[in-house]
Amino acid sequence: MKLAVKRTISPKKKKGPKFRRVLIKLSGEALGDEKGAGINPDAVQSMAEQIAEVRELGVQVVIVIGGGNIFRGLAGSERGIDRATGDYMGMLATVINSLALQDALEKNGVATRVQTAITMWQIAEPFIRRRAERHLEKGRVVIFGAGTGNPYFSTDTAAALRANEIGAEVILKATKVDGIYDSDPKKNPNAKRFEQVSYLDALQKQLKVMDSTAFSLCMDNKMPIIVFDLFKAHNLKRVVMGDKVGTLVTA
């Protein structure tokens, strides 16, 4: 008499995140109102919720924020302010944005540290690479404020620099459009969106990904960039999970 063999079906293994450590580049305007000015609490809260969603996956997150919603150094220099002075003012604006995002993240239960390239002990830690990495290992989100701490360098350059310093696997450039187009999709309804583009093609086609200094730093160190729309619900999580969202810039 043969005994029936009971077969057990093992449950499907859940798909995990594609990236272990990411750097999110946020523009200052993304925190602002419809015109990209000031700080809009609803916009900041929405960002915090998406970042918290990614942290729940166990992904280590670092963030670089611009300051264009408050003050932009280049614009200030065009109005007569010394360029270096204007850039330092812009760096301080990024710290204001960093503190606003930190507040929203912690209200969502996400432990956060702000590190700045300009020392201001009363409100933030100075940037120390090993300390930033230790925070990440403990599950904290680290926000880098004040750019590189040097005038004439954009927060895009700061993002490229910090991503390489702390060993991020990818830069996630959050924008208001769903990727990189061959022309402005707001002006040209027939604009073509790229799913993937190489560094060289992006340079040759003069696609506006980042400024030239930041882009060269990414290209030289083979740091991939994903440009995506942060204002679509759960998009950040989808990018981290490896879904085809936005445009990938790679070698």
Name beta bridge partners: 171: 23, 225
Distance CA 196, CA 193 (A): 9
Strand partners, 126: 116
Q: How far apart are CA 184 and CA 135, in angstroms?
A: 39
Helix, strand or coil, per DSSP, at residue 39: coil
Q: Is residue 158 part of a domain?
A: yes
In angstroms, the CA 51 to CA 172 distance is 12
Please report, in tens digits, the pLDDT of each residue of the chain (251 residues total).
555 555 555 555 667 899 999 999 998 888 888 887 889 999 999 999 999 999 999 999 999 999 988 988 777 778 889 999 999 999 999 999 999 999 999 999 999 999 999 999 999 999 999 999 999 999 999 999 999 999 999 999 999 999 999 999 999 999 888 888 888 787 888 888 889 999 888 888 888 788 888 988 999 999 999 999 988 889 999 999 999 999 999 98
For residue 62, the one-letter residue type is V
Residue 11 covered by a domain? no
Burial 24-47 (b: 16+ CB within 10 A, else e): bbbbbbbbbeeebeebbeebbebb
Domain membership of residue 205 (yes or no) is yes
The answer to whether residue 3 is domain-embedded is no
Nearest-5° Cα angle at 200, 188 to 194: 35
**In a domain? residue 13:** no
Does the residue 208 lie in any domain?
A: yes
Element (H, E) at 74: helix 73-78
Strand positions, DSSP E, 75-199: 112-116, 125-126, 141-145, 170-175, 180-181, 193-194, 196-198
How many domains is the chain partitioned into structurally?
A: 1
For residue 143, tell me if it sits in a domain.
yes
One DSSP character per residue, 170-224 reads: EEEEEESSSSEESS-TTT-TTPPEESEEEHHHHHHTT--SS-HHHHHHHHHTT--
Asked if the structure places residue 15 within a domain, the reply is no
CATH of the domain at 220: 3.40.1160.10
Structural domain containing residue 232? 21-250
The reported pLDDT for the residue numbered 185 is 80
Report the alpha-carbon distance of residue 52 to residue 23 in Å, rounded: 14
